[in-house]
Structure 1
Amino acid sequence: MATLALSQVQSGGGLRSRVPYSFGNGAVRKLCQEGRLKDALHMVELMVQQDIQSPTNAYISLLKECTKRKALVEGKRVHALIVQSGLDSDIFLGSMLVNMYAKCNSVLDARNVFNSMPEHNVFSWTAIISAYANHGQGEKAISLFQQMQQTGIIPDKVTYVVVLKACAKIAALEQGKQLHLHIIKSGLESEVIVGSALVDMYAKCGCTEEAYEVFNRMNERDVVSWNVIVAGYAQQGLRKEALALYEQMKQEGVQPDNVTYVVLLKACASIAAMDQGKLLHSHIVRSGYELDVIMGSALVDMYAKCGCIDHARQVFNSMHERNVVSWNAMIAGYAQHSLGKEALVLYEQMKQKGVRPDNVTYVVLLKACASIAALEEGKQLHSHIIRSGFQLDVVMGSALVDMYSKCGDIAHACQVFNNMLERNVVSWNAMMAGYAQKGHGKEALVLYEQMKQESVKPDKVTYTVLLNACASIAALEWGKQLHTHIINASFESDVILGNALVDMYAKCGRMELALQVFNNMHEQTVVTWNAMIAGYSQQGLGKEALTLLKQMQREGTKPDEVTYASVLSACSHSGLVDEGCHVFDFMCKDHGVKPTVDHYACMVDLLGRAGHLADAEDLINKMPIQPDVVVWMTLLGAARNHGQVEIGKRAFDNVVRLEPENDAAYVLLSNIYAEAGRRDDVVKEMKDVGVKQNSWVQLD
């Protein structure tokens, strides 16, 4: 074998030593093992030029290293050398090239090499199937597997694992079941990697029982197998079962790894299971796992989604390394809890640390702006997105539409919506919600018709948004049509839609239809009861509202602040003074609900309508919280209705103290004085409080 000084085979960045080095396949392998890919490649190029020896083994070493490092550029140079050496018909090298291109994310190159091969073996077939499976083309991968079988090539366990992963990604259950039969016939079901892939396929296709049956039959189960079954249950929302499997796993002596904990933390995050999440955190600490970037990000996400922002921030601050996922998790936590300012501050810190935002960052930040109606900050983010070169894909576009809509800028929301090349149901929902929130119910309903014409299938959110739009403009006929569509879509059992239907019928004045929906609901939350009680209140049906409150309590649903506000309003509109006072006392003393300023406003209205103005004023003076303008205006209105000049004057003084420019207060006081025959006092009063002459002439 020839010997050559390494200085002679330097390539650009150079070899680190000038010590003589053997020149040949063994030397190439050694350079690859040392991670010196460019030097190894240069050595092979010299071997080919000088025709020193057959470089087949060197090509194998180079392709393995290129595959490992996903070095596409170097891989293409190796490919060119193989062709130059006349070895492009070698089935083994061809298979390795297919595998290298697949792992380097160049599916087209992988397919071209595969097609050019004179014959194929199980390795080359598995490599090309894997290329398609790993790049979201599961159907193509399954089709290639069927072609492979037709050529008489017998799949091995790796082939089955690859095709099962393809089935899992596209939830191709029937094809997965057929594969399972082939695997049983091949005697490979007991292989741990095949069994794990079967469990994963069934779990991702939503068949947790079948997944567990396969798992139970496995003779050997490693940590990967356990992670797959735990993840399967967790992804299906079966948190208790996932945690029970975790305990069983430990009892059987299998040590959980970081994947196990990440999977379980995601499960806890998805259902806001704070206690279990904290317990897992303590297990992680006791197990000695370092808070790496993946584990730390999962903990931040879990605490944030469980509503414990302080804990999330503590974990975030303690992380030695943070990537864009970690920052996104923390920013999302703030956004989810309407802490938009904190999310935007963190975004600035993220940029200062040199972490480049990705599309998830911007989507989360747009949600943060939407949550606090921060229009200017949202516009700046929109500019950053454009300058950063991000495509206005369906997710980003929907987030922008939602942000502009919730910030009240319907014009910009429409502009973004109309410029989107692709729109899904989320995009349409965001735009319709924007119209509905601004009181443009008709426009929302017109957009719904356009959405159907473009063959976009409505979901539950669509119908909820549209029912709210109907409620806001009392569009009863539209609401009835939507109700029919909901039934046809088999959504009638959804509690949120049920609540929206009750609210819509109530606000359209059709309490009998609201009650019909209410009684047919399988589940009634406090929101359902509140919608029904509010409907009775709006119709002035105080006795019915009180009856429903008692029924609600009998059935074990605890009334909240909104419930009591609606009941008190119903009593006020129906003149049920004693009943209203009883409800207020019960709320404060027996139920332990702290009255808000809205409850006091309802009580002042209740007493004021009944002519008990002295009691109403006394209640205001004894309020443990500061009365607002609404409370004093309610008293002022009652004073005007009952001709109570002095109480009206005191109420007026408090209103102008809080809001000096409140025109309605001046009008009410003017009317009180005028009806009492004290028109001169109107002019005097206006001069005393400094109202300009043209204003009080208008009042007169």
Structure 2
Amino acid sequence: MNTCSHLCSSLLNKCKTLKTMKQVHAFVHKTGLDTDPLVFGKLLLHCAVTISSDALDYARRLFLHFPYPDTFMYNTLIRGLADSDNPHNALLLFHDMRRKYVRPIDSFSFAFTLKAAANCGSLREGMQLHCQGLLHGLHTHVFVGTTLVSMYGECGCIGLARKVFDEMPEPNVVAWNAVLTACFKCGDVEGAEEVFGSMPWKDLTSWNIVVAGYVKADELELAKEAFWRMPVKDDVSWSTMIVGFAQSGCFDEAFGFFGELQRKGVRPNEASLSGVLSACAQAGAVEFGRILHGLVEKAGFLSMISVNNALLDMYSKSGNVEMARLVFERMPERKSVVSWTSMIAALAMHGYGKEAIQFFCRMEASGVRPDGIAFISVLYACSHAGLVNEGCEYFSKMRDLYGIEPAIDHYGCMVDLYGRAGKLQKAYDFVCQLPISPNAIVWRTLLGACSIHGNVELAEQVKEMLSKLDPDNAGDHVLLSNVYAAAGKWKDVAAVRRSMADQKIKKTPGWSVIEVGKVMYRFVAGDKSNKITEEAYEKLREIMLKLRVGGGYLPEVGSVLHDIEVEDKEDSVFMHGEKLAVAFGLARLPEGRMIRIVKNLRVCRDCHTVMKLISKVYRSEIVVRDRSRFHSFKDGCCSCNDYW
């Protein structure tokens, strides 16, 4: 290799971005080395595999300009395309390679193309490649065999994956790990346990596969048991547990694993930080989230888009939209569509519909192309702010300008948009004219709108449709019961409740959570089982007396879905979990501190009224996150403007 070739190789090894790669390419072209297969092959390898994914298109253009690409060049580009967003292109390139009789087609050609078939989920292509591998005598090659096992596992064919593995003459630990992964991918937990027990040797990857497999199968106790039995743990092991438990709603365990990780002196990685921040977001643990924000800054993770997105999500779901906005504005210049969508969703959840639309326009102006999820967020924003015309415009824009075909979620947003605005007949007509069959969620959205606006006749029609699609859903029965109760049709309420009892359908119990002193406290309506709830009740009695005398409070007993005396109804609404949580917050938190509450159901009208009065009488800011949005109460007003 001459001096120029050595220099090119040295420069390529230092390339980290597409910009520097283009500079090296210009030097290669100027020196005439772009016709040297060895130098050109290295250039292609760096573009297609080594540096960022945005260089893959450049690699394809490079490849097209080389007159007679060899096997290495084909394999390099197939490898890069197999891991891309469109792995089908790798299959097309392999077929082009065979059509042009490029030789030799080796084990790398088959392994990289099999990976593309796996990433496409294309069993047909994978089986054809398997047959071609048999013809070329490559099926016993450990590299090809291992990729075949992975391909069949990805396509859900555990029997074929096991058969290929059993026919391998000398499987190595990578092959064992591939069949172990295939078992978990196909939901064969028992088979995975059998394979793991039979492994002649296990490496760290083997243990991580088992832990991750149990987590994905929702076998959390087995995951914990395997995790603590691991002879060695790395950052992947810890992040698997943190993310897995957070996604399963086991927030305390997720926090516990993160705390243990720190005590062991293990440096958290991108995934573990994002996972624990996600747990904070879902649990409403904003104080712990703030501590993590400081840790993120000290550890130098603020340059990572995914961690910033997790911070943004944590603050927005904890009710601090201003801090979410600050995180967004301080993010690196090149924000992803996820970042923009998260900010739009944050504003939407807090009722800032017009600001959400402004951010959507900023995203378009920045050159980031909105995807289907971004449109769901902006439609949600329009729906919760009553911006019906704007929502219709964005729905049309999604299809006409960006060519995004509406999915069922987009249609559901439009039903919600019309329904919340009281345009129930228009919402019903929209559902009936859908080009695809409406699912239970779409009908349930319309039933919720009927409940809000008290349309008994339409509610009965919608419930009839839901009875066919999802007959055992407790929420549907409760929504219909709400409509009957609001109309004073107590016999119909009783009939719905009897039907639920006969079918053994139980209503989801409501709970409310508040964070005080970095500890999460949960309150359930009517629960007086411990000193914490007794303390909350005592403070609540004092609050309600003050609201009646000084705030003019009158209970909205329409929120009670039983035909009972007025006094009993007043007692019933008195005991709601969010009232207990806010009372506990006023009792324990320093005066003037914002009270943040997370609940699993929609806030009722009486609780909404009480929160407004408390914010005025006690001069306290209260943020409640219910099932679908945020309510920020301040000076007797709510951010939703009583439109929710």
What TM-score, normalized by structure 1, do the two folds share?
0.65
* Equivalent residue letter for 1:192: S
* Contact 1:299 1:312 (8 Å CA) reproduced: yes
What is the correspondence of 1:447-466 to structure 2 with a 5 Å cutoff? 447-466=359-378
* Contact 1:370 1:402 (8 Å CA) reproduced: yes
Q: Structure 1's 568 and 253: CA in aligned 2 closer, same or farther, altered over 3 A?
A: same
SS in structure 2 of the partner of residue 593 of structure 1: coil
Cα distance between partner residues in 2 of 1:381 and 1:266: 33
* Contact 1:110 1:131 (8 Å CA) reproduced: no
What is the correspondence of 1:196-207 to structure 2 with a 5 Å cutoff? 196-201=111-116, 204=119
Question: 1:213 maps to what in 2?
Answer: 128
Question: 1:437 maps to what in 2?
Answer: 349
Q: Structure 1's 490 and 407: CA in aligned 2 closer, same or farther, altered over 3 A?
A: same
SS in structure 1 of the partner of residue 50 of structure 2: coil
1:535 lines up with 2:458 in the alignment: no
Identity %: 20
What is the correspondence of 1:388-399 to structure 2 with a 5 Å cutoff? 388-399=299-310
Gaps of 5+ in 1: 1-87, 600-619, 669-700
* Post-superposition offset of 1:514: 2.0
* Contact 2:284 2:318 (8 Å CA) reproduced: yes
* Equivalent residue letter for 1:168: A
Q: Deviations over 1:62-115 (max 9, x none)?
A: xxxxxxxxxxxxxxxxxxxxxxxxxx7389xx67x9778867988979988998
Question: 1:188 maps to what in 2?
Answer: 103
* Equivalent residue letter for 1:464: I
1:495 to 408, 420, 441: 408
Q: Deviations over 1:249-294 (max 9, x none)?
A: 1464567655456556667777xx6x4244323322234442x321
* Post-superposition offset of 1:547: 3.2
Q: Structure 1's 398 and 656: CA in aligned 2 closer, same or farther, altered over 3 A?
A: closer
Cα distance between partner residues in 2 of 1:199 and 1:639: 62
Q: Structure 1's 284 and 432: CA in aligned 2 closer, same or farther, altered over 3 A?
A: same
* Equivalent residue letter for 1:415: L
What is the correspondence of 1:238-249 to structure 2 with a 5 Å cutoff? 238=155, 240-241=156-157, 243-249=158-164
1:401 lines up with 2:312 in the alignment: yes
Cα distance between partner residues in 2 of 1:347 and 1:523: 44
* Equivalent residue letter for 1:215: H
What is the correspondence of 1:79-98 to structure 2 with a 5 Å cutoff? 89=2
What is the correspondence of 1:7-26 to structure 2 with a 5 Å cutoff? none
Q: Deviations over 1:580-613 (max 9, x none)?
A: 2111101012x111245679xxxxxxxxxxxxxx
Question: 2:263 maps to what in 1?
Answer: 352
* Equivalent residue letter for 2:289: G
SS in structure 2 of the partner of residue 354 of structure 1: coil
Cα distance between partner residues in 1 of 2:343 and 2:116: 37
* Contact 1:102 1:130 (8 Å CA) reproduced: no
Q: Deviations over 1:153-194 (max 9, x none)?
A: x73x44432232234344486686456444454463653333
* Contact 1:506 1:536 (8 Å CA) reproduced: yes
Question: 1:309 maps to what in 2?
Answer: 220
Cα distance between partner residues in 2 of 1:434 and 1:225: 47
* Post-superposition offset of 1:511: 1.7
1:578 lines up with 2:491 in the alignment: yes
1:225 to 141, 144, 158: 144
* Post-superposition offset of 1:245: 3.2
| Greater relative contact order, per chain length (Cα 8 Å cut-off, separation 6+) | 2
* Post-superposition offset of 1:363: 1.9
Cα distance between partner residues in 2 of 1:369 and 1:474: 30
Compute the RMSD of aligned alpha carbons.
4.6
* Contact 2:316 2:324 (8 Å CA) reproduced: yes
* Equivalent residue letter for 2:493: G
Cα distance between partner residues in 2 of 1:453 and 1:120: 41
Cα distance between partner residues in 1 of 2:280 and 2:124: 43
* Contact 2:475 2:508 (8 Å CA) reproduced: no
Cα distance between partner residues in 2 of 1:425 and 1:217: 41
1:162 lines up with 2:81 in the alignment: no
SS in structure 1 of the partner of residue 447 of structure 2: helix
1:129 lines up with 2:44 in the alignment: yes
* Equivalent residue letter for 2:411: G
Cα distance between partner residues in 1 of 2:419 and 2:443: 12
Question: 1:19 maps to what in 2?
Answer: none
SS in structure 2 of the partner of residue 162 of structure 1: helix
1:548 lines up with 2:467 in the alignment: no
Cα distance between partner residues in 2 of 1:187 and 1:557: 56
Structure of higher CA gyration radius: 1
Q: Which moved more, 1:306-315 or 1:327-336?
A: 306-315
1:567 lines up with 2:480 in the alignment: yes
Cα distance between partner residues in 2 of 1:598 and 1:366: 24
SS in structure 2 of the partner of residue 592 of structure 1: coil
* Post-superposition offset of 1:321: 1.1
What is the correspondence of 1:36-115 to structure 2 with a 5 Å cutoff? 89=2
Question: 2:529 maps to what in 1?
Answer: none
Question: 1:607 maps to what in 2?
Answer: none
Q: Deviations over 1:30-59 (max 9, x none)?
A: xxxxxxxxxxxxxxxxxxxxxxxxxxxxxx
* Contact 1:335 1:365 (8 Å CA) reproduced: yes
SS in structure 1 of the partner of residue 259 of structure 2: helix
Give aligned pairs, total.
536
Q: Deviations over 1:549-606 (max 9, x none)?
A: 23332x34223121111010111123332222111101012x111245679xxxxxxx
Q: Structure 1's 98 and 330: CA in aligned 2 closer, same or farther, altered over 3 A?
A: farther
Q: Which moved more, 1:300-309 or 1:422-431?
A: 300-309
* Equivalent residue letter for 2:477: Y
Question: 1:324 maps to what in 2?
Answer: 235
Q: Structure 1's 563 and 196: CA in aligned 2 closer, same or farther, altered over 3 A?
A: same
* Equivalent residue letter for 2:497: F
* Contact 2:337 2:371 (8 Å CA) reproduced: yes
SS in structure 1 of the partner of residue 188 of structure 2: helix
Q: Structure 1's 404 and 254: CA in aligned 2 closer, same or farther, altered over 3 A?
A: farther
Q: Deviations over 1:511-555 (max 9, x none)?
A: 2232233332634443233212222222322233233323332x3
* Contact 1:588 1:595 (8 Å CA) reproduced: no
Question: Per residue, is there more helix in 1 or in 2?
Answer: 1
* Contact 2:251 2:280 (8 Å CA) reproduced: yes
SS in structure 2 of the partner of residue 134 of structure 1: helix
Q: Structure 1's 569 and 415: CA in aligned 2 closer, same or farther, altered over 3 A?
A: same
Cα distance between partner residues in 2 of 1:473 and 1:639: 25
What is the correspondence of 1:656-667 to structure 2 with a 5 Å cutoff? none
* Contact 1:502 1:514 (8 Å CA) reproduced: yes
* Contact 1:498 1:521 (8 Å CA) reproduced: no
What TM-score, normalized by structure 2, do the two folds share?
0.70
Q: Structure 1's 279 and 525: CA in aligned 2 closer, same or farther, altered over 3 A?
A: farther
